[in-house]
Amino acid sequence: MVVVRDLKSNTVITSPEKARSFLERFGVGYEFWSIKDNITESTSPSEILSTYSTEIEDLKKRGGYVTADVIDINSATPGLDEMLEKFNKEHFHSEDEVRFTVLGHGIFHLHSAESGVISVEVSAGDMLRVPRGMRHWFDLCEDRKIKAVRLMWRMGSMSTSCQYVSDPHS
């Protein structure tokens, strides 16, 4: 379940509804989707996309996204530490970064000009939309795994839309 921390005001939010309301003030989208019992570590990407097809198609229509895939990052992922070094550098994208977490945990650190840094810990059932242009970075939690559905405006566009910030965390 989501945990939002506003570091400036020292506020912690654990209610999905309150998290949605708080995050939307910064243009960040949050929803909690029901967790399906048939999703396990070994569930294939196609099975995950099929299981959540109704929710994914609805989000595609609302956000104009055209493609969805599944990322599976865990301790066995080749080059994990190098990958996490890239994710942990403050950056932004020229399109929304949309993630629906199926398994595992991660923390998105959102850099809002208005509020400073807000951390959003996501786990199974949490759908987060970081709007294009918002500075952020990402860390895995202690379990060092996350499996998530990504939605994009163009196939493979997340890697090409990333811009790193030269003066991070300021």
11-49, pLDDT tens digit by residue? 999 999 999 999 999 999 999 999 998 899 999 999 999
Residue 98 has pLDDT above 70, yes or no: yes
Measured CA distances, 113 to 8, 87, 128, 170 (Å): 11, 20, 19, 9
The Cα–Cα gap between 96 and 152 comes to: 7
Residues 153-167: what's their mean pLDDT? 69
Span of 5-9, 33-37, 160-164 with lowest mean pLDDT: 160-164
Q: What is the pLDDT of residue 115?
A: 80
Our count of domains for the chain comes to 1
Q: What is the pLDDT of residue 166?
A: 77
* 10, part of any domain: yes
150 band by pLDDT with thresholds 50, 70 and 90: very high
Q: What is the pLDDT of residue 164?
A: 86
* 170, part of any domain: no
Given the structure tokens 């995950």, which residue do they identify? 48
CATH number of 142's domain: 2.60.120.10
40-91, pLDDT tens digit by residue? 999 999 999 999 999 999 999 999 999 999 999 999 999 998 998 888 899 9
User: What does the angle CA 98 – CA 35 – CA 122 come to, to the nearest 5 degrees?
Assistant: 45
Q: What is the pLDDT of residue 86?
A: 86
* 129, part of any domain: yes
121-148, pLDDT tens digit by residue? 999 999 999 999 999 999 999 999 999 9
Q: What domain range includes position 103?
A: 3-164
- Residue 122, Cβ neighbours under 10 Å: how many? 25
* 108, part of any domain: yes
167 band by pLDDT with thresholds 50, 70 and 90: low
pTM, 2 dp: 0.91
C-alpha closest to that of 68 among 82, 80, 84, 50: 50
* 169, part of any domain: no
